[in-house]
Structure 1
Amino acid sequence: MTYRVRFTEAAEADLVRLYEFILERDATDWALAERALAAIRAGMSILEQTPFSCRKAATDTPFLRELLIPFGAAGYVALFEIDDAETVTVLAVRHQRESDYL
């Protein structure tokens, strides 16, 4: 079974924010920003096949989960919800060193 992965507007805005954050630190490091997005995209491929393999984000619902995406010394965390047997919705994406989802 393959799940369709979709993004909320907030999650899409998170991807832009994370990309821009890398460029704010060093405007010439386009390659790093592109590698970060590629790592996030690659990590999201897990959601197409096995979203239930990711850790639960809350104890009261088995459908709200987090995907850990390694990148460098830290990485990213994607909060997502398994909507039904066909669809997964990414709700937010943050860097692992951020305090929480924005």
Structure 2
Amino acid sequence: MSFELRYSPAARLDIRRLYRFLLDRDPVVAEKAINVIEKAIGNLADFPFSSRKTRGNLPRIRELVIPFSNSGYVALYEIEDSTTVTILAVRHQREDDYH
């Protein structure tokens, strides 16, 4: 069974922000990073329970670690029900405000 992947408005803004940040430095790296993020998130359609649970007692809220270069990204997502996964946020692993 495949899950439908949805993005919250905040997650879409996060991805745009991350892309713009890299685009100013290196357009090739920006494209590679976004492709890696999209591919990793795409895998959640088939394997949403494969990622680690977040702190606390919220089994449906999980974090997907996305390796890239020397660090990577983390996608926060919620398994809404038996058919839907919603991406809540995407951050670089070195950002302080990951929620």
Structure 2-normalised TM-score? Answer: 0.94
- Select which of 79, 90, 93 maps to 2:90: 93
Deviation at 1:101, TM superposition (A): 1.8
User: Partners of 2:91 and 2:39 in 1: how far apart?
Assistant: 16
* Runs of 4+ with deviation above 3 angstroms: none
Q: Which secondary structure state, in structure 1, belongs to the residue aligned with residue 20 of structure 2?
A: helix
Deviation at 1:87, TM superposition (A): 0.2
Return 5+ residue gaps in structure 1 as ranges. none
Q: State the percentage of identical aligned residues.
A: 49
User: Partners of 2:23 and 2:78 in 1: how far apart?
Assistant: 30
User: Partners of 2:97 and 2:53 in 1: how far apart?
Assistant: 15
Question: Which residue matches 2:75?
Answer: 78
The question of 1:65 aligning with 2:31 is answered: no
Cα-to-partner distance string for 1:8-59 (whole Å, 9 max, x where unaligned): 00000000100111123x2xx2111000000001111221011111000133
The question of 1:36 aligning with 2:43 is answered: no
Q: CA RMSD in A?
A: 1.1
Aligned residues: 99
Return 5+ residue gaps in structure 2 as ranges. none
Question: Which residue matches 1:3?
Answer: 3
